[in-house]
Amino acid sequence: MYGESSSGAGSGSGGGAAIQFDYSTINNSKNDRNTNHNKPPMFNGDPEMFSWWKTKMYSHIIGMDEELWDILEEGVGNLRLDEEGVALDRRAHTAEQKKLYKKHHLIRGILVAALPHKEYLKMSDKSVGTRVFHKSPIEF
């Protein structure tokens, strides 16, 4: 019955079993805090950390859908897009083109979500000659 004392594990003067945990094993590094696998790893703007972030992004994107990485590397083929990545003739797309266009925006969303606003503004500034993702067909 509820409230009755019983013998065995968990009983004692404290009302429960003491479970020991070594809190020193928890990594509190700002770079390793992202444990939500639905969110992309954040880039902090540090050029020395870019390679590590890129590796984490690759794993994150491939884990979602390997076609997304192909779109990131190869672009959207013959889809006509404006500077912001919006289709010029979206309603005329075939079913396959619509699927590709949707994945194009999914990968753009992942990349934008992985950047602090300050870094996004640097890449979206069209007056700057170089961009972090300069090899990517996806324009920011």
- Structural domain of 71: 31-124
pLDDT of residue 132: 43
Asked if residue 132 belongs to a domain, the reply is no
Closest-CA residue to 102 (of 73, 79, 136, 132)? 79
Q: What is the mean pLDDT of each run of 10 residues along the chain (140 residues)?
A: 47 64 59 59 90 94 93 87 84 89 91 89 67 42
The residues, any chain, with a CB within 8 Å of residue 22's CB and separated by 6 or more, are none
Asked if residue 90 belongs to a domain, the reply is yes
Asked if residue 62 belongs to a domain, the reply is yes
Beta bridge partners of 87: 81
In the chain, the amino acid numbered 113 is A
Asked if residue 22 belongs to a domain, the reply is no
79, 104 Cβ separation under 8 angstroms: yes
